[in-house]
Chains A and B, each alone.
Chain A
Amino acid sequence: MKEPVKNVRADANEMMKSWVTLFTHSMYEWAYYKVADKATAEDLVQETFLSAFQSLDRFRQESQPKTWLFSILNHKITDHFRKKVKSPLVNEGGAGLDHYFDHHGEWGDHSRPQQWVGDDSHLLDRPEFRNTLDECMRRLPGSWSAALQLKYLSEKDGKEICQDLQISPSNFWQMLHRAKLQLRKCLEVHWFKR
């Protein structure tokens, strides 16, 4: 009776190997784009395959292997961002609220939001806009961009993210407030007012 079991395992092994061959490259491209570090991206892809292999019974045949692998990879990437938000090494830099508001709490002259021309939802169809958005994300302090990416990649709600991070909701949204002010300003200067 041992023979069939062995065959199942051998089949699983072959299947995993074919997935490695097929999907490693696009998974690495995505991980590298997200974390901007070669070694980290390689580790994330490798860990994804090892986790996938261990939980192969949870893979439902009706879902696409690529979709399943990317969902595991996205979990690994958000774990990475979670550590980065908490890391004291990346918390320096970034403008405080006083950079945007005067001592009455009113918008400063240089930061008062102006109407954007052509702000519409088709912006993402334009690769140049996506590049500008990426560039503005990269200019944020590491922990702020990690917090934003954590929020928008994981699709978890604010409460869950705060539980994961063990930070208070006010800490979290105040960090995102400053991040959004800077991101908004950056896009205004580099895209909407070119």
Chain B
Amino acid sequence: MKKRIIHFFVLSCKKASGLIEKNLYFKLSLPERIQLRWHLTLCDACSTYKKQSGLLHDLLSRHEHDHTQAPPLPEDATQELKEKIIRKLEH
């Protein structure tokens, strides 16, 4: 029953989780911010989602451009490529 009331007056979890994502990349409007805050005070599942989504955001920010993480390849895999690039640079 509590859930129905939240959804009716505030937001569904579907929309709330969408706003949690939107908030990571864009600014929320004032009504969106208010609705989301209300939803989160009443909904444990979405509060958990918000925490996990924030963790993923942080992990991806650090992982996705950490070029030291690339798995090593055999040295001779790029010998031909090096020669090809040097030839191109000479022309």
Contacts and interface: CB of A to CB of B under 8 A. Distances in A.
Q: Does chain A bind chain B?
A: yes
Interface of A: 13, 16-17, 20-21, 24-26, 28-30, 32-34, 42, 45-46, 49-50, 53, 70, 74, 97, 100-101, 104-107, 112-116, 119, 121, 123-124, 130, 133, 148-149, 151-153, 155, 157-159, 161, 169, 172-174, 176-177, 180-181, 183-184, 187
Given A20-B89, A42-B81, A124 B63 contact: yes
B14 A152 contact: no
B52 to A, nearest CB: 6
Interface of B: 3-4, 7, 12-15, 17-18, 21-22, 24-26, 45-46, 48-49, 51-53, 55-56, 58-67, 69-73, 75, 77-78, 81-82, 84-86, 88-90
Contacts, number: 142
B56 A184 contact: yes
Given A101-B12, A119-B55, A180-B53, A29 B86 contact: no
18 contacts: A20-B86, A26-B67, A29-B71, A32-B70, A33-B71, A46-B81, A53-B89, A101-B14, A104-B7, A105-B13, A121-B58, A124-B62, A133-B59, A149-B64, A152-B65, A153-B65, A155-B65, A173-B18
B56 A123 contact: no
Contacts of A20: 82, 85-86, 89
Contacts of B73: 25, 28-29, 32
Given A153-B64, A173-B21, A177-B21, A106 B12 contact: yes
B70 A29 contact: yes
A46 B84 contact: yes
Contacts of B45: 107, 112-113
A159 B26 CA distance: 7
